[in-house]
């Protein structure tokens, strides 16, 4: 039996509004962004109301309190992913986290820099945020971008892993859970293959950290990125985690105040990690909001959340199995799979599917999900994607199944 | 239902049985337009003659709105004098921006008025305009 | 007579708290970050509570409303600085805005790229955020960084402007108002010199946009950057404005979702400006908060605000003139000067000055103000800086003057 | 006043009349430490002999807390056996982290206990530690 999490829905003020057609909101788009509990909204507001000041700079009490709030947020977020707080860098988003890495690896002054002839490995199911930065890095440095393929069942094809991850491989950048398929990638095998050849592993944890317990030490990866807004936290904040001995070797990606050790007109030296990666007055209120979000999730318990989403996913897959017009894109079983379900409806374009669902108050994502290469590989113009979080329930699943039935009726689909 | 104002029967008909779909072998110009946020794509072949739109053919993948609208456009503008085609295009764009406040000029837009409801759905306006913008691009290039 | 703005102080909830020694808060550190009116805090919270969704992506009503809120914020902020909304890019901070430019200019694929032998001109009074990125750009590209000096009076030395801004100059990156001296720079002369040689002008407007009316068209510059948090807005948001024909020529600085036109495993093409510079799910709530901030300022009237700060600055300078232990660093008169006053107290280190002021509830900034090269030039270890905004009053000035008097007594300074 | 717990008379005395200020010509090692957030700087010359701290001299610019603390440190650790000096250093660091809860071990820290009040002002702790960290760095290098 999974824990009953329905009591938590009331913590999210957005569910008190109604949407199209006067319907209550059924939010199945948490893969894009999650909703926020009131405690997170209040944490941000309280920062502004009671201790707003520029951190690390002022001699006054507010600046002290702001610095303390910001650094406590860092410690708290670090604890949430099993990291040391000096290894946690606050960025604006996972996109920025991944770009920071690609930029730093591209700087010849970095202690670990990508060189011509090096290989950077991604997969065919990466989000653009974990593909484009590496494409650009390869282009800038003369390195080669290669990738692991996917199987027809929406899993990673590991049959040629030892060819793809080879002695030329410098970096393996890979998603933890696919934002299209929901597939959870066997990171242990990836780490093993990378270690064998001395390559570094960068994990895009955007779709994992919000949904199940993630511990950087246990995973054994070298870097990890995720976004605050998908983990019940504010927009405008992301995390980049890296092993400190590696972060120390990287040049910063952006430059400005609060990240220097000394500056002259001719040059500068950098402060220590994590400070050297946080140029400028940081996103303080958002860090404090993110900290409140991970507190909230910790209270609920990540294993409970994972179980809850597992159950809903199972129900949805079972329901879709009964509908001959619906094809699920991605794993059909529950092994190594999270609460993201992509599907197509015969003869109806995803955009039209989404529109009909919207009419019933159901919010889903439609399109290529920022994974165009994957869509092309699958020969699809896009999919409709339902994704879960804590505030969803079995009723949401039934409502979705019923509404998809209406879609097929509305567009007079018959198979 | 509000949905019916979006998916008029005319639209679904054009979607199921599109006009001028399939690219002609001859053309003055070919353009390719897409809508990166949803992935809809249209390739359009245009032939102009003596300042008149002689032929519009197209191919594409996309939602019902984008495909039906391209179908309607190709039918409506074929045979029209360039300036007149532009006038129709402007009327269609205006209709799309009307936020549900306009019914559209049926004399000018014919089947195009079926898209009046789209203007109430901001996310779909770009779908309805995809083929029209491809025509605008192509014809402007030919006439330049 | 300047308008009485004291009625607005109650809009800022932070002033209802007390600080060290049970004193009311006298906040004179707006140069570092400004306080936030409740309308701004509420705008951010309301976004989360009523329309939170990923912009530009979903087919559902929430996504529509979120996109509308985000794009309306862009239009509103654009209007505030006299720009077209397609020319306004939301970043995380002014620091990021300036780094974006430096990165894009350093990309050889950009239509306007910096090349070996080009010169980049800054000034000796830049904030690190408008110095380090250009130092790095020069280093990466083989360009040369040169600079305009400052005069003993804390003004820009324009005597050799035609030598410094010469035919090799590609970019002139300059502050609009010094965050140390309060000096307002004669941008018209800079623009003229740059135009004569075909150079581009990048304006660091961090200390101007929050304090007086700034219109990009009237200034005639090419790019402009400022931070949300100094303009009564949220943390975690900044603005980069650029002329659209120039922005179109620049390669983006970071890569990911929502900024592409198409993507394959081998490469990608970009969306149009401003989208191509906004990779990832953006800082939506912060954009909405910033929009509320500029609405609030517009209601008050930027000329009223400027006048108000002018009066306070005048009062403070007059008060300091009477104190023989105090030396004002920067212009002593009110010509082309804003509400930032740096000063030193003979025999007392700035950090100690700040500590005593803090005891009286007065928050100031002490140290090098992220302008180390300037401090070295001035042979100072740092200064104490008082800076004003809307919520300050003549009483705050008197309190400061009285407390500085106490400083000299406490440390038994005599001259 | 709360301020007096920070600026003890002992501290102001050391600030006005610092001990061992002025760099010696002879040294085993010289280190330079700074505090980027406030700009305080210390250069420290260290001579060790037979496992004892023979001489500490220093120069620097900074606030009263950082200068006085460096003065106290240089006086206190000179002549001490390395392990004993480290013990004193640890006791001082502990005092700084005590958030106003400790008065410090006067036998070990002597004038150093005057800095107990600093521990209530988080922004100043780094100032008080600047010289001590410079010594730690220098002595660790010499003993390595
Ligand atoms: C003149 C000037 N430029 C740039 C900055 C950097 O702004 P931010 O730290 O918000 O990125 C500041 C403020 O710290 C500033 O005062
Ligand atoms: C797998 C994955 N990676 C990266 C991202 C990028 O995250 P953000 O847009 O918050 O930077 C997302 C979400 O959009 C994602 O799902």
- Give the domain CATH number at D101: 3.90.1010.10
CA R_g for chain C: 22
Residues of C with active-site annotation: 370
Residues of the domain holding D128: 3-143
* Ligand 1 nearest atom to the CA of residue C93, by list position: 11
Q: Is C385 on the interface with A (CB under 8 A)?
A: no
Rounded mean pLDDT, C156-162: 97
Average pLDDT over residues C58-81: 95
Which is the catalytic residue, given A94, A200, A370, A397?
A: A370
Whole-Å CA distances, C174 to A293, C77, C230, C368 = 40, 22, 18, 18
Which contacts (CB < 8 Å, 24+ apart) does range D83-89 have? D85/D53, D85/D135, D85/D139, D86/D136, D86/D139, D88/D112, D89/D132, D89/D135, D89/D136
pLDDT tens by residue, C217-234? 999 999 999 999 999 999
Residue C56 C-alpha to ligand 1 middle, in angstroms? 30
Q: How many CA atoms lie within 13 A of C238 on its CB side?
A: 27
Question: At residue A415, does pLDDT exceed 50?
Answer: no
d(CA C78, CA C82): 6
Write a three-state SS string for C105-132: HCCCCCCCCCCCCCEEEEECCCCHHHCH
Find out whether the peptide bond into A274 is cis, omega within 30 degrees of 0: yes
Name the packing angle between helices D122-143 and A61-80 (round to 10°). 60
| CATH number for the domain whose boundaries are C41-298 | 3.40.640.10
Asked whether the beta carbons of residue A349 and residue B121 sit closer than 8 angstroms, the reply is: no
Tell me which residue has tokens 């532009």.
B86
Partner-chain residue, chosen from D36, D121, D122, that has the shortest CB–CB distance to A262: D36
C-alpha closest to that of D116 among D88, D130, D97: D97
For residue C129 and ligand 1, the question of a CB distance below 6 A is answered with: yes
Closest CB from C14, C19, C95 relative to A257 = C95
**Rounded CA separation C360/D2 (Å):** 11
C95 lines ligand 1 (CB under 6 A): yes
pLDDT above 50 for A22: yes
> How many angstroms from the chain centroid is the CA of residue A76?
18
Q: Which of B67, B56, B61, B46 is nearest to B115 (CA)?
A: B67
Q: Binning pLDDT at 50, 70 and 90, where does residue C59 land?
A: confident
- CA distances for A199 relative to A106, A119, A137, A223, angstroms: 16, 9, 16, 12
Asked if residue C413 has pLDDT above 70, the reply is no
Residues 6+ apart with CB under 8 A from A329: A154, A180, A181, A342, A343, A344, A378, A380, A383
pLDDT tens digits along A174-231: 999 999 999 999 999 999 999 999 999 999 999 999 999 999 999 999 999 999 999 9
Q: How many CB pairs under 8 A join A and C?
A: 324
Q: Where are any strands of DSSP class E within C250-355? A: 260-263, 268-270, 326-329, 340-345
Q: Would you list the DSSP string of chain B?
A: -HHHHHS-HHHHHHHHS-SSBS--S--SEEEEEEETTTTEEEEEEEEEETTEEEEEEEEEE--HHHHHHHHHHHHHHTT-BHHHHHHHHHHHHHHHTTTT-----HHHHGGGGGGGGGGG-HHHHHHHHHHHHHHHHHHHHHH-
Q: Do A351 and B3 touch (CB under 8 A)?
A: no
CA A147 to ligand 2 centroid distance, Å: 19
Cα A281 to averaged position of ligand 1 atoms, centre (Å):
7
For residue D30, give Cα distances in angstroms to A48, A315, D72, D138.
45, 69, 19, 7
Residues with CB under 6 A from ligand 2: A 93-95, 127, 129-130, 175, 179, 204, 206-207, 227, 229, 238, 370; C 256-257, 280-281
Length of chain A: 415
CB < 8 Å to D127, chain C: 351
> Residue A38: is it exposed, middle or buried by C-beta count within 10 angstroms (0-12/13-18/19+)?
middle
- Confidence bin at A6 (pLDDT 50/70/90): confident
- Going across the sheet that includes A326-329, the strands are A326-329, A340-345, A383-387, A365-367
Q: State the Cα–Cα distance between residues C40 and C398, nearest whole angstrom.
A: 29
Helix, strand, coil abundance in chain A, percent, nearest 5: 45, 20, 40
Q: Domain extents for chain A? A: 5-30+302-414, 41-298
Q: Is it the case that residue A1 has pLDDT exceeding 80?
A: no
Give the model's pLDDT for residue C415: 46
Rounded to the nearest angstrom, the minimum Cα separation between A255 and chain D is 15
Q: Which residues pair with B74 in a beta bridge?
A: none
The CATH class, in words, for C5-30+302-414 is alpha beta
- Which residue, D124, D140, D143, is CA-closest to D40? D124
How high is the pLDDT of residue B1?
A: 63
Residue of A nearest to C53 (CA): A33
Query: Which residue's CA is the closest to the ligand 1 atom numbered 15?
Result: C206
Asked if B37 lies within 8 A of C57 by C-beta distance, the reply is yes
What residues in A contact D97, CB-CB < 8 Å?
Answer: none
Lowest-confidence pick of A257-271, C91-105, C134-148, C216-230: A257-271
Cβ atoms within 10 Å of A288's Cβ, excluding its own: 27
- Give the start-end residues of each E strand in C205-295: 223-227, 238-242, 260-263, 268-270
CA of C124 to the centre of ligand 2 (A): 40
Provide the pLDDT confidence category of residue A413 given band limits of 50, 70 and 90. Answer: low
pLDDT at A2 over 90: no
Q: Encode pLDDT of C3-23 as tens digits.
A: 678 889 999 999 999 999 899
pLDDT at position D4 is 87
Question: Do the beta carbons of residue C103 and residue A279 sit within 8 Å?
Answer: no
* DSSP notation for A345-399: ETTB-HHHHHHHHHHTTEE-EEE-TT-HHHHHHHT-S-EEEEE--TT--HHHHHH
Q: Is the pTM above the cut of 0.90?
A: yes
- Counting residues of chain A whose pLDDT is more than 70, the rounded percentage is 98
Task: Tell me how many domains chain B contains.
Answer: 1
Q: Considering only the beta carbons, identify the residue of C359, C367, C381 that sits closest to D37.
A: C367
Name the token pair of B133: 């913008």
A289-313 in b/e burial notation, b at 16+ Cβ within 10 A?
bbbbbbbbbeebebeebbbbbbbbb
Please determine, for residue C261, whether its predicted confidence score (pLDDT) is greater than 90: no
Mean of per-residue pLDDT scores for chain B = 94
Q: What is the mean pLDDT of residues A121-129?
A: 97
The ipTM value here is 0.94
At a CB cut-off of 8 Å and minimum separation 6, what does C138 contact?
C114, C120, C144, C145
Q: Are strands A326-329 and A88-91 parallel, antiparallel or unpaired?
A: unpaired
Contact yes or no for A338/A313 (Cβ under 8 A): yes
Distance from CA of D91 to the nearest CA of C (A): 25
Separation of C239 CA from ligand 1 center, angstroms?
12
- Alpha-helical segments (H) within A120-198: 132-141, 161-164, 187-197
Closest residue in B to C259 (Cα) is B36
User: For chain C, how far is it from start to end, CA to CA, in angstroms?
Assistant: 37
Ligand 1 neighbour A257 (Cβ under 6 A): yes
Closest-CA residue to C213 (of C291, C304, C308): C304
Residue with CA nearest ligand 2 atom 16: A179
Q: Which residues, in sequence order, are bridge partners of residue C120?
A: C145, C171
Ligand 1 pocket member C178 (CB < 6 A): no
Residue B46 pairs with which residues in a beta bridge?
A: B29, B56
Inter-chain contact C54–A33, Cβ cutoff 8 Å? Answer: yes
**Under 8 Å CB-to-CB from C116, ≥6 apart: which residues?**
C141, C142, C143
Which residues of D fall within a CB distance of 8 Å from A258? Answer: 37
Q: Is the CB of C126 within 6 Å of ligand 1?
A: no
Cβ atoms of residues C76 and C295 within 8 Å: yes
Determine the Cα–Cα distance for residues C163 and C167; give it in Å rounded to an integer.
9
Adjacent-strand bridge partners of A340 = A387
How many inter-chain contacts (B to C, CB under 8 Å) are there? 19
Whether B36 sits inside 8 A of C59 (CB atoms) is no
**Phi, psi values for residue C85, rounded to 5°:** -70, -25
Starting at the edge strand found earlier in the chain, the sheet holding D52-61 runs: D29-35, D40-49, D52-61
Query: C204 in ligand 1 pocket by Cβ < 6 Å?
Result: yes
Confidence of residue C414 (pLDDT cuts 50, 70, 90): low
Cross-chain residue pair C63–B123, CB shorter than 8 Å: yes
Residues in chain C: 415
User: Mean pLDDT score of chain A, rounded to an integer?
Assistant: 96
How far apart (Å, rounded) are the C-alpha atoms in residues D141 and B61? 69
Helix (H) / strand (E) containing D87 = helix D82-96
Instruction: Name all contacts of B81-89 with Cβ < 8 Å and 24+ positions apart.
Output: B81/B51, B81/B52, B81/B53, B82/B48, B82/B51, B82/B52, B82/B53, B82/B139, B82/B143, B85/B53, B85/B135, B85/B139, B86/B136, B86/B139, B88/B112, B89/B132, B89/B135, B89/B136
Spatial neighbors of A210 by CB under 8 A, at least 6 apart, are A30, A34, A226, A230, A231, A232, A389
CA of C94 to the centre of ligand 1 (A): 6
Q: What is the pLDDT of residues D1-28, one digit of tens each?
A: 678 889 999 999 999 999 999 999 999 9
Give the burial string for C170-194 (b: 16+ CB within 10 Å, else e): bbbbbbbbbbbbbbbbebeebbebb
Q: Which 8-state DSSP code applies to residue A176?
A: S
For the stretch D96-136, pLDDT in tens is 999 999 999 999 999 999 999 999 988 899 999 999 999 99
pLDDT over 80 (residue B37): no
Considering only CA atoms, which of A274, A102, A116 is closest in space to residue A200?
A102
Which ligand 2 atom lies nearest to the CA of residue A97? 11
């Amino acid at each position: 039996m999974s824990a009953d999490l329905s009591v938590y829905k009331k913590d999210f003020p957005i569910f008190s509004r109604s949407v199209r057609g006067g319907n209550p909101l059924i939010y199945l788009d948490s893969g894009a962004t999650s909703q926020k509990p009131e405690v997170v909204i209040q944490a941000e507001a309280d920062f502004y109301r009671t201790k707003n000041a520029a951190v690390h700079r002022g001699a006054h009490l507010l600046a002290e309190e702001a610095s303390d709030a910001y650094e406590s947020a860092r410690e708290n977020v670090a604890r949430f992913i099993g990291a040391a707080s000096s290894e946690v860098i606050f960025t604006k988003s996972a996109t920025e986290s991944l770009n920071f890495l690609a930029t730093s690896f591209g700087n010849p002054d970095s202690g670990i820099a990508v060189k011509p002839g090096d290989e950077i490995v991604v997969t065919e199911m990466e989000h653009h945020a974990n593909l484009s930065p590496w494409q650009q890095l390869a282009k800038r440095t003369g390195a080669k971008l290669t990738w692991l393929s996917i199987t027809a069942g929406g899993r990673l094809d590991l049959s040629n892993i030892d060819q793809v991850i080879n002695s030329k491989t410098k970096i393996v950048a890979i998603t933890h859970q696919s934002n299209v398929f929901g597939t959870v990638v066997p990171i242990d095998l990836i780490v093993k293959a990378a270690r064998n050849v001395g390559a570094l592993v960068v994990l895009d944890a955007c779709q994992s950290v919000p949904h199940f317990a993630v511990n950087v030490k246990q995973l054994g990866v070298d870097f990890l990125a995720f976004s605050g807004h998908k983990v019940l936290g504010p927009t405008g904040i992301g995390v980049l985690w890296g092993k400190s001995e590696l972060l120390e070797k990287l040049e910063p990606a952006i430059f400005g105040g609060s990240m220097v050790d000394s500056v002259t007109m001719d040059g500068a030296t950098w402060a220590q990690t994590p400070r050297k990666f946080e140029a400028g007055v940081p996103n303080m209120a958002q860090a404090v909001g993110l900290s409140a979000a991970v507190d909230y999730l910790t209270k609920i318990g990540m294993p409970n959340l994972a179980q809850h989403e597992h159950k809903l996913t199972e129900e949805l897959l079972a329901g879709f199995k009964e509908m001959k017009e619906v094809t699920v894109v991605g794993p059909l079983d529950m092994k190594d799979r999270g609460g993201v379900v992509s599907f197509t409806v015969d003869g109806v374009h995803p955009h039209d599917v989404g529109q009909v669902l919207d009419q019933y108050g159901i919010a889903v994502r439609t399109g290529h999900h920022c994974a165009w290469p994957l869509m092309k590989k699958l020969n699809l113009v896009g999919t409709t994607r339902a994704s879960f979080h804590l505030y969803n329930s079995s009723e949401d699943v039934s409502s979705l199944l019923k509404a998809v039935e209406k879609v097929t009726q509305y567009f007079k689909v018959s198979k | 239902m509000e949905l019916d104002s979006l998916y008029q029967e005319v639209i679904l008909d054009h979607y199921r049985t599109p006009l001028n779909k399939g690219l002609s072998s001859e053309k003055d110009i070919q353009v390719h337009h897409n809508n990166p946020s949803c992935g809809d794509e249209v390739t359009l072949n245009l032939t102009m003659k003596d300042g008149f739109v002689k032929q519009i053919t197209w191919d594409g993948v996309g939602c019902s709105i984008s495909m039906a609208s391209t179908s309607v456009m190709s039918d409506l503008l074929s045979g029209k004098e360039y300036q007149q085609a532009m006038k129709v295009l402007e009327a269609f764009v205006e209709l799309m921006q009307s936020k549900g406040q306009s019914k559209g000029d049926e004399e000018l837009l014919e089947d195009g008025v079926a898209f009046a409801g789209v203007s109430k759905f901001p996310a779909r306006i770009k779908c309805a305009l995809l083929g029209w913008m491809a025509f605008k691009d192509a014809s402007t290039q030919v006439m330049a």
